[in-house]
A and B are shown apart, each in its own frame.
Chain A
Amino acid sequence: MAIVELRFSALPEHVRTARLVAAAVARRAGVAETVLDEVRLAVGEACSRAVGMHQDRVDDDRPVTVTLDDGNGRFSIEVNDGVPQPALTEAALAEGAGLMPDLSTNGAGMDVIENEMGLAVILGLVDDLDVRTGAEGGVIRMSWPSGAKSAETVG
C-alpha cells in the first residue's frame, strides 16, 4: 500500500497543484490513461468544493487534506475539507444523489445549475463515491480501478 498525502491552505490557487499531484500518482498507480482526465477533474471539483467551504470563515486556517492511496487494486482519493459539519443523515445522503441540475425548466433552474454543478460533475464522473460529514470535516471519497485491468472495468 502506498499513500501520498497533500495538505494545502484553502485557497483557489492550490487546487491546480492538487489536480497535478493526483493525476501523477494515479498514472503511477496504473490507472488507465483514458481515465486520468476524469481523476483530474473529479479531484479538482472535490478540492474546489472544499476551498469553498472555507469561504467567509474568518480565522480558519485548517488545511484541506487530499489522501491518495493505491492499495487493494483500487486508486482512491479522499478529500477532507477540514470544516466541522453536522453528520449527514441517510435521507440527506440519498437526496444528494438527486442534485443533478434539472434542466427541464428554464429560469429558476439556471441558479441551480450555477451553484450545484460541482457535485453534479463528481456524480457524473465517479461510480464509487462516498460523501460524509462530521466533526472532523466533510470528506469526499472516490476510487477507480488501478493496474492493468482498469481499462476493461471502467466504462
Chain B
Amino acid sequence: MDLSLSTRTEGGRTIVEVGGEIDVYTAPKLREQLVELVNEGQFHLIVDMEAVDFLDSTGLGVLVGGLKRVRAHEGSLQLVCTQERILKIFRITGLTKVFPIHPSVAVAIASSD
C-alpha cells in the first residue's frame, strides 16, 4: 500500500492525516508535505497516524525533521496513534520522550489549548 496524505484545519491546528506505509520509499512524500506546511506558516501540526499500516526509522526521521522545523518557529508537532505496533517503534527509539502522543485528534487539540 502506498502513502496517503491529507490536511485540514481544526481547532486552530493543522491536522495531517497519514495512511498506508511510511518507509524509505514513501517517507520523502511526507517530508515534502511537512516542509510545505511550515513554509506556508503552519507551525502547529498534529500528525494523525491511525491509518498508518507500517512505519520505519526513515519515517521517524521525517517526523523528527518536522519537529525541528516547527520548533524553529516556536511551533509544535503532536502525534495521534493508538496502534501498539507503531507505538512500539517510538518506545524502542526513545521517541516517546520527544513527541507528545495522543489517543485522538480531539485530545491532541485539547491538550495544546
List chain A positions with a Cβ less than 8 A from chain B.
12-13, 15-16, 19, 37, 40-41, 44-45, 48, 51-52, 100-101, 103, 110, 113-115, 117-118, 120-121, 124-125
Contact = CB atoms under 8 A, between A and B. Distances in A.
Nearest first, the 9 closest Cβ-Cβ pairs linking A and B are: A124-B92, A117-B57, A12-B25, A48-B24, A118-B57, A12-B24, A103-B94, A114-B61, A121-B57
8 contacts: A16-B21, A37-B85, A40-B54, A103-B98, A118-B57, A121-B57, A121-B60, A124-B93
Contacts of B94: 100-101, 103
Contacts of A118: 56-58
B64 interface: yes
B64 A114 contact: yes
B56 to A, nearest CB: 5
Interface string B88-106: 0100111101100000000
A44 B56 CA distance: 8
Contact of A114 (B21, B54, B65): B65
Contact of A121 (B21, B67, B85, B92): B92
Contacts of A113: 60-61, 64, 93, 95, 98
B73 interface: no
B50 interface: no
Interface residues of B, number: 22
A51 B23 CA distance: 12
A125 B54 CA distance: 15
Nearest to A37: B85
Contact of A44 (B23, B92, B98): B23
A41 to B, nearest CB: 6
Nearest to B61: A114
Given A12-B23, A19-B23, 14 more contacts: A15-B25, A40-B54, A44-B23, A45-B56, A48-B24, A51-B24, A113-B60, A113-B95, A113-B98, A114-B64, A117-B61, A120-B57, A121-B92, A124-B93
B61 to A, nearest CB: 5
A48 B58 contact: yes
Given A37-B85, A103-B98, A117 B60 contact: yes
Contact of B92 (A37, A40, A120): A120
Contacts of A100: 93-94
Contacts of A101: 93-94
B67 to A, nearest CB: 8
A48 B56 contact: yes
A19 B25 CA distance: 13
